[in-house]
Amino acid sequence: MNLTTKEASAATAHQPNDLASFWLPFTPNRAFKRAPRLIAGAKDMHYFTLDGRAVLDGTAGLWCSNAGHNRDPIVAAIKRQAEELDYAPAFQFAHPKAFELASRIAALAPGDLDRVFFCNSGSEAVDTALKIALAYHNVRGDGARTRLIGRERGYHGVGFGGISVGGIVNNRKFFGTLLSGVDHLPATYSREHQAFSKGEPQWGAHLADGLERIVALHGASTIAAVIVEPMAGSTGVLPPPQGYLQRLRAICDRHGILLIFDEVITGFGRLGHAFAAERYGVMPDLVAFAKAVTSGSVPMGGVIARQPVYDAFMRGPEQTIELFHGYTYSAHPLACAAGLAALDLYRDEKLFERARALEPAWADAAMALQGLPGVLDIRTVGLTAGIDLNPRAGAPGARACEIMDRAFREQNLMVRITGDTLALCPPLIVSAAQIGEIFDKIGQAIRAVT
Ligand SMILES: Cc1ncc(COP(=O)(O)O)c(C=O)c1O
């Protein structure tokens, strides 16, 4: 791909002064600083490196940039907003675009998921949802419901709430005792029963019954909420078994437990619908979102609550604060402007429908890698794919890491890894030809790195 002059000059303008001071998140810092992977610019489906290479984005950044990168309408909206209103206090005051964006998100969400609380990231969205769930029971006089139920292999960000209900050992084991009163459902993945399934695997709905066991152990009257990712992304793309989420909903209903969907990855089109709740026809009580709400352009997260959940708080004297929670940057004007522009793009370019239409071709292209050396499983749903590789003896994660590095440096492709799983989730503007390019290059990298 040829760079325009503007893109090329942007791509050479940002050599860092030194690499020492910045402590990178979720990254092996020493290895990275020895051989950095630096990104200078982006446009649509591509990143641009400092040496001017165009790298095809197979990961929508970090599951964020669903409309593609540096889209003109989003950039223009952010610029306009910065000139008009840089910041407005988030407590006791508000600005019009916060209301506008909330109502647009509510209109996209199914059923009576109608009230939107804004924050700045997926982690904050999760902690906000957990706190709303606890407070909801409290304000209704059911304050003994304090337990939170997550799931093994779940990822809900890095706040103390999120890591407590999360189920990834390295995200938990260094950080003390976490929240008390948390229990976990079993993970939904079994290679033995599900390997090489396209979409939702047939096996595994019964795993939702783990919630009945937890209810039997603790008593329903102590449980506030269950939180799951409808499709577990960060742990390696685990689509829900057919019927699993419906069964979870039914058990929650039976016992008065709130159901929270963490849609930080699945929200805004990733699975071919505005929200996974719509794809699966399951109504959660609360939805956590972030990432693609602004197509990754400005940090933003939030929680969508069903109307009765919100209404439960709207009691007592009108001058009292109903929920003692919020962030200085809740509904930041730049994020709201970016969000409105992103939602316009999703609507005008029919990007959710596009993801749905591309899903079969995407799944076929991914599954064509079955049989390559060391490929243990491939999973797809919506425009996502997870490819499990056989780990090297004594060096877990090394093989996938080498593939990611090789793809970036030599094949001009960005892929994401978690352990020895490659994860893919391109912007929803990806073309059929680019889908072919992504999986061709991954196939070459898998063959090259043994
Ligand atoms: C399902 C889920 N929840 C929460 C988060 C945390 O989001 P953030 O990194 O914006 O805090 C992520 C991030 O990948 C996620 O995938």
**DSSP string across 333-383:** HHHHHHHHHHHHHHHHTTHHHHHHHHHHHHHHHHHTTTTSTTEEEEEEETT
pLDDT in the model for residue 276: 98
User: Distance from the CA of 348 to the center of ligand 1, in angstroms?
Assistant: 27
User: Distance from the CA of 5 to the center of ligand 1, in angstroms?
Assistant: 35
Ligand 1 nearest atom to the CA of residue 263, by list position: 1
As a whole number of angstroms, the distance between CA 387 and CA 447 comes to: 14
Q: Is the CB of 232 under 6 A from ligand 1?
A: no
Closest residue by Cα to atom 7, ligand 1, is 122
Of the chain, the percentage scoring pLDDT greater than 70 comes to 97
Closest residue by Cα to atom 13, ligand 1, is 157
> Residue 394 — left, alpha, or beta (φ > 0 → left; ψ -120 to 50 → alpha)?
left
Ligand 1 nearest atom to the CA of residue 159, by list position: 11
Instruction: List strands edge to edge, sheet with 223-228.
Output: 113-119, 301-306, 286-289, 258-262, 223-228, 147-151, 182-185
Domains of the chain and CATH, by start? 5-67+350-448 (3.90.1150.10), 75-348 (3.40.640.10)
User: Distance from the CA of 291 to the center of ligand 1, in angstroms?
Assistant: 8
SS3 45: coil
Average pLDDT for 170-183: 97
User: Distance from the CA of 9 to the center of ligand 1, in angstroms?
Assistant: 33
Confidence of residue 84 (pLDDT cuts 50, 70, 90): very high
Closest residue by Cα to atom 3, ligand 1, is 156
Q: Is the CB of 167 under 6 A from ligand 1?
A: no
Ligand 1 nearest atom to the CA of residue 157, by list position: 6
Using one digit for the tens of pLDDT, what is the confidence trace for 334-381? 999 999 999 999 999 999 999 999 999 999 999 999 999 999 999 999
Residue 282: C-alpha distances to residues 17, 144, 183, 259 (Å): 50, 27, 22, 10
User: Distance from the CA of 121 to the center of ligand 1, in angstroms?
Assistant: 7
Closest residue by Cα to atom 12, ligand 1, is 157
Using one digit for the tens of pLDDT, what is the confidence trace for 23-82? 999 999 999 999 999 999 999 999 999 999 999 999 999 999 999 999 999 999 999 999
Using one digit for the tens of pLDDT, what is the confidence trace for 158-174? 999 999 999 999 999 99
pLDDT in the model for residue 17: 86
Confidence of residue 110 (pLDDT cuts 50, 70, 90): very high
Ligand 1 nearest atom to the CA of residue 233, by list position: 16
